[in-house]
Structure 1
Amino acid sequence: MTLPILYEDGEALVIDKPAGLPVDPPRKGGPSLGHHLGALRFGFQREPVAVHRLDTDTSGCLLLARNPKALARFNRAFEDRAVAKTYLAVLAGHPAGTQGTIELALAKISSAEKGWRMIAAKKGKPAVSHWELVERLGPYSLIRFRPETGRTHQLRVHALKGLGAPLLGDPIYGAGPAAGARRTMLHAESLAVTRAGKTPITAQAPLPADFRALGVSDG
């Protein structure tokens, strides 16, 4: 597997992570991003390190740091909310309205029957997502999310609880695989990181084939 490079300089790489590739090694074993890091050295002494996480099903922009100092700076940028990200999502339904902001705190729960998941909870960690309706796709909707926070499964829970419908294909918060959606239809569309005294890191991931197959158009 060749991982497309969306941005590259001396301290950062942004790759277009394909859906189905875990960032962290799965407990049950199998391939993950770590199997490809050696090929992403491009002559550097160290392998790059993922700065943040994307769910296995999620495709698109993933930032990698090429040295420990860069990793520390990028981690601070995420903590300070100095990273701008957009996501495209196919909603299994239609929202009420065309844009808005979802503020629902999230907490993790687990059970022997269903495993772990995130839920909206007043005592959870704050989570904020801005959204806009991009286009209707028959029974579905294309949503662009701009998350302020980066909680686990944030957009998936905010879609369900904030917009009233899960993401198409979501096996945890929705009905699972559907016609034309063999995965949770979420794509990390763009990423931008400002850097003091340096050119900002900017990257945009092309529209995946499965989004196109559902009728999503470019632009």
Structure 2
Amino acid sequence: MSFIKKEDFAKNQLDNNTMRDIHILHDLLKKQCPNLHAKRLSSLMVATQSLLDGQHLSLTELGRNISGSVAPKHNIKRIDRLLGNNNLHNERLDIYRWHARLLCGANPMPVVLVDWSDVREQLRHLTLRASVSVQGRSVTLYERVFSFGEYNSPVSHNPFLRELASILPSGCCPLIVTDAGYRNPWFREVEKHGWFWLGRVRGDVGFKRKKRKTPMIKMVNFQG
């Protein structure tokens, strides 16, 4: 009779569960995103498996953590080709559409939180992300990376909103919620899509009612 260590048994169980999840995800994407090329889908699942195994999200680490007998340098090149594939970048919207149907299909007016975040804390690239709350957790609905020079401007906001509109289910009218920092051009663009918005103001930023000549109303923080 042979014995296996408790920690080894737990690891094997985790590996088996991960492989099962990858197979389920592969089958779902193949069915729900028929435009996704079979070979790119296969490479995408390999990268996903590598991420779950290695817990590091970078081109080099994704390549190094691919299991198998292939040399790491070849796996790194494989990941490089995958991430640089223009067709995959176009097909990614199909994946977002499928995910959006799962998250918003039964909710005609989801509350969508939009915010900026730094990719690697170096202010070279930033992510503009739309997310929804699911059982108290923030789940990404759509996101896109922009250069720092495009931060918080129509150059980034307008295409982001267009692509967000393209992935949302038909008949979906979200409430877009933003923190302070977003100005009139953003809110006008949101309204062009027929959506509602809720924005936070602070400091010297205020508002006035439409078609009124009264001065700008400043927001005051009340302490109670």
Scaled by the length of structure 1, the TM-score of the pair is 0.30
| Structure with the greater alpha carbon radius of gyration | 2
Query: Higher strand proportion, which one?
Result: 1
**Greater RCO, CA 8 A, separation 6+:** 1
Structure with the higher fraction of residues in helix conformation: 2
TM-score normalised by L of structure 2: 0.30
